[in-house]
Amino acid sequence: MSEFFTSLSKDFSVLLDHSDDYNVIIRVGDEKNEKTFQAHSVILRARSPYFKRALSNDWARKEDGSTVFTKPNVSPAVFEIILKYIYSGTIDLNNQDPSHILELLIASDELLLQELFNHVQDYLLHNKSEWMKKNVVRVHRTINPREGSYSGELVGGYNPIEWTTGDSRITTQNSFLFSFPKQGNIADAKLSRVSRPGYAIRVKDKSHGPCFGDKDLWMKQNFNAYDSCSSDKDDYQERVTTLSKFWVLEYEVFQVVKK
């Protein structure tokens, strides 16, 4: 069987740039940086499960015979890359700003473009790892060291006492662990309460981050290095992540203050 994907890609690129029968209007960006794109619903539906649902009769809004779709949380520059990928199946990240590549990763995940997500993820891990370690402060993702890929989970815990350094344990019945899944479905969130209060919080030296239980959720040394974080059921009711070893791009510690 002969294949002519190159010419097909070029023809679809022309369709994106010079067609006169668009039937979808897509407005992206915020008030300070907004842009309108035009596209074809049949192509969007075929290429993205997200658009297949978003452009359904239940979600869609009509305007002058066209379906109108808004995406304020995606920048015009990033969506232009996505739209070109959807039509042509091509993408060039070599001359892109790393911050745009990171935004592209997040947007492709949200739009359920798995092939694009995997490609961008691999590119960041293999070509921009140092930049990620120094600059990523917005994305909370755990990474599976065996696969080198995002699990998409947000994992954390609550310590009602205090964080300090040393080598001891803090007793409390009110701490817990939690996780939110990749797609952010609250129904799939996990909550694990402490089962052995005497081992609830593990106090370690400054080379460690927050540690819950003797094994349940630990961060040590360089938390965005492979195998620097771990999770195993020990002193809490259940595990909140299926990953035994992982690393994270960034973590934050918040203090709850009563007023």
SS3 category, 59: coil
Higher per-residue confidence, 228 vs 152: 228
| Within-domain flag for 254 | no
Burial of 177 per CB tally in 10 Å (0-12, 13-18, 19+)? buried
Residue 255 confidence class, pLDDT cut points 50, 70, 90: low
Give the pLDDT score at 33.
87
**What is the mean pLDDT of the segment spanning 222-249?**
81
What is the number of other CB atoms lying within 10 angstroms of the CB of residue 137? Answer: 9
Higher per-residue confidence, 135 vs 188: 188
| 158 & 68 share domain | no
Asked whether the beta carbons of 46 and 92 are under 8 A apart, the reply is no
| 48 & 82 share domain | yes
pLDDT tens, residue by residue, 192-228:
999 999 999 998 888 888 899 999 999 887 666 666 7
| Within-domain flag for 258 | no
* Cα 66 to Cα 63: distance, rounded to the nearest angstrom: 5
Residue where one domain finishes, among candidates 121, 139, 157: 139
SS3 category, 147: coil
In the chain, % of residues over pLDDT 90: 15
Give the pLDDT score at 137.
42
Asked whether the beta carbons of 188 and 181 are under 8 A apart, the reply is yes
* Cα 240 to Cα 175: distance, rounded to the nearest angstrom: 14
Tokens of 13: 């690129």
**Reported pTM:** 0.53
Give the pLDDT score at 216.
92
| 135 & 173 share domain | no
**Full domain range(s) for residue 179:** 149-248
Asked whether the beta carbons of 177 and 216 are under 8 A apart, the reply is yes
Residue whose pair of structure tokens reads 């599976």 in the numeric block: 144
CATH code (residue 58): 3.30.710.10
| 67 & 134 share domain | yes
| 124 & 157 share domain | no
| Within-domain flag for 255 | no
Q: What 8-state DSSP symbol labels residue 215?
A: T
pLDDT(86) > 80:
yes
Asked whether the beta carbons of 71 and 24 are under 8 A apart, the reply is no
Domain total in the chain: 2
Residue 243 confidence class, pLDDT cut points 50, 70, 90: confident
